[in-house]
Structure 1
């Protein structure tokens, strides 16, 4: 897998959120023209992207803000944890409580509770920028 793309409404806020989570900004760009139009099946695509890299260098997250055409959905229509299709991205963290506290300063809210799965993990789901769901997993032991 090369990357997972997430459409956001505030690119700067989403970038800051994922930097707080430990990702590194790999680069930023504006894309437009025939290639993104043909790839997406949309006309007049113009977007700003921020490519984020996980600290281990093995995974990337592409944050995309559509300047044209406007993004659709989100807000009150943001997906719930039981929505069909891609609905969340999970990140491994060393200290779940500290990570949740830091992400709350960026507007994140717990969807449910922090839970423990057997003696293996502490887990939670957060609502992050643009209504996306971000899951966190802290391995125990």
Structure 2
């Protein structure tokens, strides 16, 4: 038996309370709204195992078009758990990392809009400056600036 070939990773999904706020936040980081729709029907509930569902979805894409972030707001069924304030060492916790061009300027802009640094902005060898922030709705976001000169 041979392993399946993985042509690409399509997206990472995050469930949010406010799609508008999440879209605005990720646009501030540099992603672009690729599309927005409501998904419902028997087929969608069969995929997720939730049965009857209605979900508002926004697909955000990186400027190069290679990576996507799917933001979802469940209208039905209601959200039953909230992991947004869990510490970064929680099992199954989600963190999305973005490479950015000017981390100082972006962190300044994001903190002015309510984001908070989780720890400190640090430098890893001569390769990256990076940090974690809690963004919109407490989502954990990693930011990294390549300083290697490559």
Normalising TM by the smaller chain, what interval?
A: over 0.9
Pair 1:27-2:27 in alignment: no
**Deviation digits for residues 17-69 of structure 1 (CA, Å, limit 9, x no counterpart):** 00000001000000011111111111321110110000111100000001111
Give 1:10's aligned residue.
Answer: 18
| SS of equivalent to 1:72 | coil
TM-score using structure 1 length: 0.93
Pair 1:43-2:51 in alignment: yes
8 Å Cα contact 1:80/1:87 also seen in 2: no
Give the Cα separation in 1 of the matches to 2:101 and 2:78.
37
For structure 1, list consecutive stretches of 5 or more residues without a partner in the other structure.
none
Pair 1:122-2:122 in alignment: no
Q: Which moved more, 1:23-32 or 1:127-136?
A: 127-136
Give the Cα separation in 2 of the matches to 1:10 and 1:21.
17
Instruction: Please report the RMSD computed on the Cα atoms of aligned residues, expressed in angstroms.
Output: 1.4
Q: CA deviation at 1:93?
A: 0.2
Give 1:91's aligned residue.
Answer: 98
| SS of equivalent to 2:57 | strand
Aligned residues, how many? Answer: 140
For structure 2, list consecutive stretches of 5 or more residues without a partner in the other structure.
1-8
Q: CA deviation at 1:107?
A: 2.3
Give the Cα separation in 2 of the matches to 1:104 and 1:50.
24
User: Moved runs in structure 1, 4+ residues, more than 6 A?
Assistant: none
Higher RCO by CA contacts (8 Å cutoff, separation 6 or greater): 1
| SS of equivalent to 1:20 | helix
Q: Which has the larger radius of gyration?
A: 2
